[in-house]
Amino acid sequence: MPFIAFARPDIGQAEINAVARVMRSGWVTTGPETRAFEQDFAAHLGGGVQAIAVNSATAGLHLALEAIGIKPGDQVIAPTLTFTATVEVARYLNADAALVDVDASTLCIDPACIEAAITPRTKAIVPMHYGGLACDMTAVFDIARRHGLYVVEDAAHALPATCQGTLIGQLPSAAAVFSFYANKTMTTGEGGMVVTRDTALAARMRTMRLHGINRDAFDRFQSRTPAWYYEVVAPGFKYNMTDIAAALGRVQLQRLPEFVQRRQQLAARYRAELQDLPLILPADAPPGETHAWHLYVIRLADQARVTRDELIQTLSDAGIGTSVHYVPLHRQPYWRDRYNLEPKQFPVAERAYQRMISIPLFTAMSDDEQGRVIAALRAALR
């Protein structure tokens, strides 16, 4: 029986044609297609945001923290239950990460833990919208306002989630950073997008995105008048998106509504057919809100008769791929050793980690494939 991968990108002929068109155009790096993608993405979100395309969400987070002025010795608060990219970018700037626990229901950052972690060195909060469910941003912004902190959203999972009826990316944070990695809700293969309403931050991130140069290569090389001159105004980075990736992204963005609908269908079927098993199913979005359903993370309940690792092996034996999101950062050697972290400091994330499995959920998944996942889970947990 064919193996069901944990995730598989949904790439069609339209995406292939768009990439081929760019490859025939004579311009494959950052140029008109990337600009068009930025404009399309900003228009999709609305609310007057500016969009800066980058080669990864990690790059976007780094640019955002650099642009808001994070300096050596500053502190950035983020959840322990996230990918290392969320906080490694603070270390790029010689700042420190303060890791905190998550909410037991949503697995998003716990606002009470944010408040408890604030010190005179704290400059920013980086909430991560776990699995596609928006954090309690009302509480996050309240804390940030009272303490004079920036908010930079790790929105890698969150396209197109909403909070208080507003799309993630339109909220009043300094910046929000989306990921277009291969398994995300839309993909450019590798890539990301930073959005902000702050024109100064946008200008800084555009400059730092490409070596600190004050002109794009496309402007310099395509101008009909002599335009070879440029200036390096800062020691920037190499974080630009290519037109090949942008062409893929523009088609994927057009398909995003159908992608979201399919993910919602898959999530609803999982909920309906797994709810009688000894599992804690992922929290749904509040009424009237949108869950992006990037991940479907189940947790074994107390009455389950198998361990997490046994269930992963059983599913693997049945030809079903899974993952775990995430090994909490307090368990990772670098973060553990640098900050002397122990599991008992993060009881919610630690308990969730011991019991969680991410099961397949992707738009190219067929009904029959999902049926196989459900049947295997029922056989293992009945």
Q: What is the pLDDT of residue 223?
A: 59
Predicted confidence band of residue 12 (pLDDT cuts 50, 70, 90): very high
Task: Write down which residue in 253, 269, 302 finishes a domain.
Answer: 253
Average pLDDT, integer, range 344-361? 98
Pair (66, 199) in one structural domain: yes
Pair (185, 305) in one structural domain: no
The helix/strand/coil state of 112 is helix
Q: Are 86 and 78 in contact (CB under 8 A)?
A: yes
Q: What is the mean pLDDT of the chain?
A: 96
Return contacts of 364-372, CB within 8 angstroms, 24+ apart: 364/8, 364/9, 364/10, 365/4, 365/8, 365/266, 369/4, 370/266, 370/269, 370/270, 372/1, 372/4, 372/318, 372/319, 372/320
Torsion (CA) 179, 181, 185, 187 in degrees, nearest 10? 110
Active-site pick, 71, 123, 184, 344: 184
Residue 182 domain flag? yes
CATH number (domain holding residue 58): 3.40.640.10
Take residue 185 and report the two structure tokens written for it.
Answer: 């809700």
Q: What is the pLDDT of residue 218?
A: 56
Pair (171, 298) in one structural domain: no
Task: Please count the structural domains in the chain.
Answer: 2
Pair (287, 171) in one structural domain: no
Pair (187, 267) in one structural domain: no
Is 184 among the catalytic positions?
yes
Pair (260, 197) in one structural domain: no
Task: Write down which residue in 196, 224, 253 finishes a domain.
Answer: 253
Its pTM stands at 0.96
Residue 5 domain flag? no
Q: Are 196 and 63 in contact (CB under 8 A)?
A: no
What percentage of the chain has pLDDT greater than the value 70? 97
| 131/190 Cα distance (integer angstroms) | 19
pLDDT digits 0-9 by tens, 61-104? 999 999 999 999 999 999 999 999 999 999 999 999 999 999 99
Closest CA to 271 of 359, 163, 158, 164: 359
Pair (227, 266) in one structural domain: no
Q: What is the pLDDT of residue 229?
A: 84
Predicted confidence band of residue 304 (pLDDT cuts 50, 70, 90): very high
Take residue 69 and report the two structure tokens written for it.
Answer: 């002025």
pLDDT digits 0-9 by tens, 211-256? 999 876 556 556 555 677 888 999 999 999 999 999 999 999 999 9
Pair (201, 148) in one structural domain: yes
Task: Write down which residue in 198, 226, 253 finishes a domain.
Answer: 253
Q: What is the pLDDT of residue 219?
A: 61
Residue 3 domain flag? no
Pair (293, 208) in one structural domain: no
Residue 60 domain flag? yes
Pair (275, 352) in one structural domain: yes
Whether the per-residue pLDDT at 382 is higher than 90: the answer is no
Pair (145, 215) in one structural domain: yes
Residue 167 domain flag? yes
Alpha-helical segments (H) within 275-362: 308-317, 333-339, 347-355
Residue 1 domain flag? no
Q: What is the pLDDT of residue 214?
A: 81
Residue 334 domain flag? yes
Q: Which residues in 91-126 are b (16+ Cβ under 10 Å) and which e?
A: eebebbbbbbbbbeebbbbbbebbeebbeeebbbbb
Q: What is the pLDDT of residue 230?
A: 85
CATH number (domain holding residue 377): 3.90.1150.10
Pair (275, 350) in one structural domain: yes
pLDDT digits 0-9 by tens, 323-351? 999 999 999 999 999 999 999 999 999 99
Given the DSSP bridges, would you call strands 96-100 and 175-179 parallel, antiparallel or unpaired? unpaired
pLDDT digits 0-9 by tens, 32-51? 999 999 999 999 999 999 99
Q: Domain range for residue 263? A: 256-381
Residue 190 domain flag? yes
| 15/255 Cα distance (integer angstroms) | 10
